[in-house]
Amino acid sequence: MPRATTPVTARGAPCRGRFTCMDRKPGRPRSLTLEGIADAALAEGLATFSMPGVARRLGVGHSGLYRYVADRDALVTLALGQAVTRVTWPDPALPWQELLRKVAESIWEMCDTYPGLDGAALAAASPPTVVELTRRYVESLTAAGFTAEDAAISLDLVVTLVLTSSITVTRLRELEQLDWVGKDAMLSPYAHEGIWTGRGWFESKFEIMLAGLATRVDG
């Protein structure tokens, strides 16, 4: 997967919002960390994990997790922020079309690495890491000739297109494995090989989107 030579490092803000740091007595070892909890949720699967399941993976009591995160939604947001820091993001200084392509690649990498992230990301609140990346990329697109509103919308389009495409491809592959009446007729529009081994119609949709943005920016 191509990556920019000057990566942007995304870092989350520690211990704020619904994520809490515990005051410990001096000398008492810290048995859990926010990073460890987030990793456990990612390993369990963002679409299906439960708080008891995460606790079992960590070898702690279920109730102990709530000393660090308020609820499951907060843990989803925390885990998404962790996933964002695990991939390389493109340099904002890239030409805008290349920038958007590479942003899409980074999101696809997260979807491929963490099953269930696509659906979870569509429903969850944006973690601080995403907010910071969005700010940097909006500034870059604005410098390239976008209005601030168009820049934000363009990034949102890229994110939404990747996430929904990932969900669609996963569902189509699941349908293809089943045996049911009318299967061949229903799946015939999706018969080309790219649906099953690639990214479905994502590339075609993405190029159409870029062409439309180009007329708006350059026109």
The two most distant CA atoms of the chain are separated, in Å, by: 67
pLDDT at 181 over 60: no
Token pair belonging to 117 = 């992230």
Average confidence score pLDDT of the chain: 83
Report how far residue 19's alpha carbon sits from residue 39's, in angstroms, rounded to the nearest whole number.
15
Q: What is the pLDDT of residues 195-211, one digit of tens each?
A: 545 676 889 899 999 99
Whole-prediction pTM: 0.77
Domains identified in the chain and CATH numbers: 91-218 (1.10.357.10)
Contact yes or no for 162/122 (Cβ under 8 A): no
The predicted structure's pLDDT at residue 188: 63
**Residue 40: is it exposed, middle or buried by C-beta count within 10 angstroms (0-12/13-18/19+)?**
buried
The stretch 152-173 carries a mean pLDDT of 90
The predicted structure's pLDDT at residue 169: 83
Q: What is the pLDDT of residues 41-51, one digit of tens each?
A: 999 999 999 99
The total of other beta-carbon atoms located within 10 Å of residue 48's CB is 10
Token pair belonging to 122 = 């569509």
Contact yes or no for 75/51 (Cβ under 8 A): yes
